[in-house]
Chain A
Amino acid sequence: MKELIDALNPFPLAQGMVIGLIVAAAGFWAVRRGLQDNRKREGAPADVQRVHVELSDEEKRLQWTAYEQLENLEKNSFAAVKLLEKIAEGVNRLGDTRWNSRQ
């Protein structure tokens, strides 16, 4: 270090520039490395936690009851649609009858 400073002693500007460039290069490297590490950290997948849920007998029974209710809802929804179609037909027929009686 002393040799470098001694060699550059007659040129204080060069001395400052050489040391400044070395430090600037180190600073640039630090920023670049920091950005790289940041990207790595952002790209890394989040920690996955495996969870096993143990249900009690009562909870299992309630779960099955819920599934049965869902099944009933599904079946009944088709029946409800058929009923609604019949009602719509009846309303249309009534409308037709009213229109015909006015002719």
Chain B
Amino acid sequence: MKLLSYYVEGRRFEWVITSAMLWLALALLIDPEILRSSAFQWITLVMPPWFIEACLFLMGWVRLIGLLLNGHEIRGRRVGPLIRAFMAAACAVVWAQFDLALLQLSFQQGFMSPGIPFWSMFVLGELDVAYRAVAGNERTD
């Protein structure tokens, strides 16, 4: 439990999102058609499912590495926060695409998709993580 707290404390949001990313990547690997039959169908107009799957898997994996590099230094520099910050910024871009897909769907159907508040806040949350991971607060390394 102590070990779990050591890795999770102060960065629960990142762990939750990383788990969700890897989960979705795995689901897309099993069935690439799930995006086409969901509210995110607009994304598949721009990016094919295999590309989204690869992005989610790679970014999720790198993010996991950043979270596990808890205070480790490479050439005198703590790389964990840097990886986490840049991955958070990259994830904000991906979540913005998901948000955009829901926005398109909302305009098409004439009412707001209930997913928009969540994905919009995910984007803001990721931008906040991008700042805090490198700003050097209590638990940043």
Contact = CB atoms under 8 A, between A and B. Distances in A.
Contacts, number: 75
Nearest to A36: B135
Contact-residue size bin, chain B (C-beta under 8 Å from the other chain): 20 to 34
A19 B100 contact: yes
B98 to A, nearest CB: 11
Interface stretch (A27-35, A61-69, A75-83, A94-102): A27-35
Given A2-B107, A5-B104, A23 B131 contact: no
Contacts of A31: 85-86, 89, 130-131, 134
B126 A34 contact: no
A34 B107 contact: no
A34 B126 CA distance: 13
Given A5-B104, A31-B86, A34-B135, A26 B97 contact: no
A42 B134 CA distance: 12
B28 to A, nearest CB: 18
Interface residues of A, number: 23
A16 interface: yes
A34 B88 contact: no
Interface of B: 42-43, 45-47, 85-86, 88-90, 92-93, 96-97, 100, 103-104, 107, 123, 126-128, 130-136
A50 B93 CA distance: 50
User: A-side binding surface: helix, strand, loop or mixed?
Assistant: helix
A15 B90 contact: no
B130 A27 contact: yes
Contacts of A16: 43, 46-47, 97, 100
Q: Which 8 A-B pairs have the closest CB atoms?
A: A27-B89, A34-B134, A38-B136, A34-B135, A30-B130, A30-B131, A23-B96, A34-B131
